[in-house]
Amino acid sequence: MEAVSEAKRLSQAVGWDISAGFTGPKLLWLKEREPESWERLAHVLLPHDYVNFWLTGVMAMEVRCSCWSAPCPRTACPSRNP
């Protein structure tokens, strides 16, 4: 899956470069190109987060960026954010 255009749009929205290989652009790609799959999506976990979930039963993701921008989640999935 190529999410280059989605990565560019997210990068413009937040003001810093986001790689097409990151989760955000891939989710935006899914939302726009596979709306039925997007509607069925309930959770997103990276592989290491899934292993932690499997071991502990706690669903959580590690946030690695200390420079989070408020517009980013609304840009990626506006229908799922207030």
Task: List, for the chain, all residue ranges whose pLDDT scores fall below the cut of 50.
Answer: 66, 78, 81-82
Determine contact, residues 11/25, Cβ cutoff 8 Å.
Answer: no
Measured distance CA(49)–CA(72) in Å, rounded: 21
Mean pLDDT score of the chain: 80
What is the pLDDT at residue 14? 83
Angle between helices 23-33 and 4-14 (to 10 degrees): 120
What is the pLDDT at residue 81? 45
